[in-house]
Amino acid sequence: MSDSTLTQTPAGASTLRHDIPAGLVVFLVALPLCLGIAQASGLPPFVGLLTGVIGGLVVTVFSPSRFAVSGPAAGLVTIVTAAMETLGSFPALLFALILAGMLQIMLGIARAGRFITLIPGTVIQGMLVAIGLLLIVQQIPVAMGLPEGQGLGALASGAAVLSAPALIIALVALLIMWLWTTAPFRRIPLLAYIPGPLVAVLWGSLAVVFGERWLPEGVMPRISLPAFNSLSELTAQLERPDWQAWQNPAVYMVAVTLALVASLETLLSQEALKKLKEQVPVPSPDKEMRAQGIGNALSGFLGGLPITAVIVRSSVNVNTGARSKASILLHGVLLLLCGLFFSDMLNTIPLAALAAVLLYTGYKLASPALWLMQWKQGWPQFLPFVTTVAGIMLFGMLAGIGLGLLAQLLCSTYKSHVNALQLSSYDDHYVVRIHQNLTFLHNPRLHSLLAEIPDNSVVMVESENAHYIDPDVKALLNEFREKAPTRNIKLDRWPA
């Protein structure tokens, strides 16, 4: 049976034997990420689980993709934390998230998904690298066990003291995740079904449970997930949006930022997913944007985080043999059950272990290999990449992406400008090749090339590829033709 046939098969007895194991593995990968992303955003861990449940259940129902897994994304952590600082509260952010979801729905209705192809790869890569770097900077103090709100500056000044147990837990967790990627570990079949981040989190929990008798109380910050004995207790934990936030002009800029970045990450994940698994019919990016918009609007209403389709969880879903949406729905149900009935177990997870998971995620996003790859492509690619990274780090997500787009536009225009005209010499014959349409902006380049042609030469111009030549360019060519006899230059072929 071909992949294309499989992708058209609805969930049934024949597919559930593949979907159930895949859903379990996706759940194991998503659990530490949902908790860690909420913690990195400065929010209760339950918010991360809630977001994962909405992404796994609601978005999946409306999504055209059979394999894309949606939930909280590490790439939006820095935007969420900056937005809460700008707006002053999490409820105000929730109102902005509802607006962002509505904007995504409208973008989907307007069929704006096709414009994803206009974003250059260098800018996209720069955005991901910047997100990785910001994630690393944000999580290093947590991995060191520094008090909330205190960074490396407080450590250097002596205002804060790092926690050796927290640092050990984080370092061992990082070592575990690295070992999971090495060849000896990858050759063990059983380990292919056990995610490295989950093992790292389990290590942190065991270290806390067995180390409590030797460690003073409070030395190891842990997640704090409330236990729910009734539906009313559950609903009491949900934050509500601040409906009065509409009076704050900043809320609309935050909403636009969330909508654009979440849509961009979702559509990029869909593009990457196409390379892993063929789907027939191909999922519509516009329908996907509408599905994400519904999820984000609901997440904002219930008190969750921004939702995107996430390539890490989606690729795990495909690689573990998923055949239908049943695997994603199962992962959402498992996240819900885990939050409702296993809070005591989750409360043994130290923040340092979750910080290690996010540090590792940040490193993969901003690895030196990615920098080297961009550098090898030449400065027309590297400059927009670096501009995007620096712009996001210094000025924020939208401003950084805008600067990266401007840098790419300038570099592409320059390269196109330079390559529009070419001068080749064959003994005393010179050929001016015009590769594209010319405007007055090409005059300086054309003037410099014509100046290189010596006296007593034979010159011809090839302009078959140019369907338009600006009158200013023609004037410059005519001027050269008029002066050619005085320099004993013979014109063999010349544009009219």
Tell me phi and psi for residue 424, to 5 degrees: -120, 145
* Per-residue tens of pLDDT for the chain, all 496 residues: 344 434 444 555 567 777 887 788 788 778 878 888 888 888 888 899 899 999 999 999 999 988 899 999 877 888 898 899 999 899 999 999 999 999 999 999 988 877 766 778 788 788 878 878 887 888 888 888 887 666 667 676 666 677 888 889 999 999 998 998 888 888 887 777 677 877 888 898 888 888 776 665 555 777 777 776 666 667 777 888 999 888 899 999 999 989 988 888 888 778 767 766 777 778 888 899 999 999 999 999 999 999 999 877 887 787 767 788 998 999 999 998 888 888 788 788 888 888 888 788 788 878 899 899 999 988 888 999 999 999 988 887 778 888 998 999 888 888 777 778 888 888 778 888 888 888 787 888 888 888 888 888 888 888 877 788 888 888 888 888 888 888 888 887 777 6
How many Å apart are CA 185 and CA 175, to the nearest integer?
Answer: 13
How many Å apart are CA 309 and CA 376, to the nearest integer?
Answer: 30
Q: In 3-state terms, what secondary structure has residue 462?
A: strand
pLDDT, position 3: 42
How many Å apart are CA 37 and CA 359, to the nearest integer?
Answer: 11
How many Å apart are CA 292 and CA 307, to the nearest integer?
Answer: 7
- Are 392 and 485 found together in one domain? no
**Residue 6 belongs to a domain:** no
DSSP state of 58: I
pLDDT, position 432: 86
- Are 253 and 357 found together in one domain? yes
pLDDT, position 322: 78
Residue 94 gets the label, from left (phi > 0), alpha (psi -120 to 50) or beta, of alpha
**Residue 3 belongs to a domain:** no
**Residue 448 belongs to a domain:** yes
**Residue 373 belongs to a domain:** no
Amino acid 442 reads H
- Are 400 and 429 found together in one domain? no
Residue 445: exposed, middle, or buried by beta-carbon count in 10 A (0-12, 13-18, 19+)?
middle
Residue 13: exposed, middle, or buried by beta-carbon count in 10 A (0-12, 13-18, 19+)?
exposed
Domain range holding 389? 382-417
- Are 280 and 325 found together in one domain? yes
Q: In 3-state terms, what secondary structure has residue 269?
A: helix
Please give the structure tokens belonging to residue 307: 């939702």
**Residue 371 belongs to a domain:** no
pTM of the model: 0.70
Please give the structure tokens belonging to residue 417: 């400008």
- Count: domains in the chain: 3
Amino acid 51 reads T
CA 119 to chain centre: 13
- Are 98 and 157 found together in one domain? yes
- Are 453 and 409 found together in one domain? no
CB atoms within 10 A of CB 444: 11
Give the CATH number, domain containing residue 432. Answer: 3.30.750.24
pLDDT, position 14: 67
**Residue 469 belongs to a domain:** yes
- Are 391 and 261 found together in one domain? no
Counting DSSP H helices and E strands in the chain, the numbers are 23, 6
- Are 166 and 185 found together in one domain? yes
**Residue 194 belongs to a domain:** yes
Please give the structure tokens belonging to residue 377: 């492509």
- Are 178 and 101 found together in one domain? yes
Residue 224 gets the label, from left (phi > 0), alpha (psi -120 to 50) or beta, of beta
- Are 90 and 114 found together in one domain? yes
Amino acid 220 reads M
How many Å apart are CA 7 and CA 279, to the nearest integer?
Answer: 6
Q: Are strands 70-72 and 429-434 parallel, antiparallel or unpaired?
A: unpaired
C-alpha R_g of the chain = 28
pLDDT, position 9: 47
How many Å apart are CA 315 and CA 81, to the nearest integer?
Answer: 27
pLDDT, position 149: 63
Q: Residues 139, 170: contact at Cβ < 8 Å?
A: no
pLDDT, position 159: 66
- Are 409 and 465 found together in one domain? no
- Are 334 and 458 found together in one domain? no
Residues sharing a CB contact under 8 Å with residue 236, sequence separation 6 or more, in sequence order: none
Please tell me the number of Cα atoms within 13 Å of 55 on its side-chain side: 31
How many Å apart are CA 165 and CA 220, to the nearest integer?
Answer: 7
> Of the candidates 300, 331, 366, which is a domain's last residue?
366
Q: Residues 373, 149: contact at Cβ < 8 Å?
A: no
Cis amide prior to 281 (ω within 30 degrees): yes
Q: In 3-state terms, what secondary structure has residue 461?
A: strand
Go through 164-200 and write b for each residue having 16 or more CB atoms within 10 A of its CB, e for each that does not.
ebbeebbebbbebbeebeeeeeeeeeeeeeebbbbbb
Q: Residues 478, 460: contact at Cβ < 8 Å?
A: no
pLDDT, position 10: 53
Amino acid 139 reads Q
Residues sharing a CB contact under 8 Å with residue 238, sequence separation 6 or more, in sequence order: 50, 302, 303
**Residue 374 belongs to a domain:** no
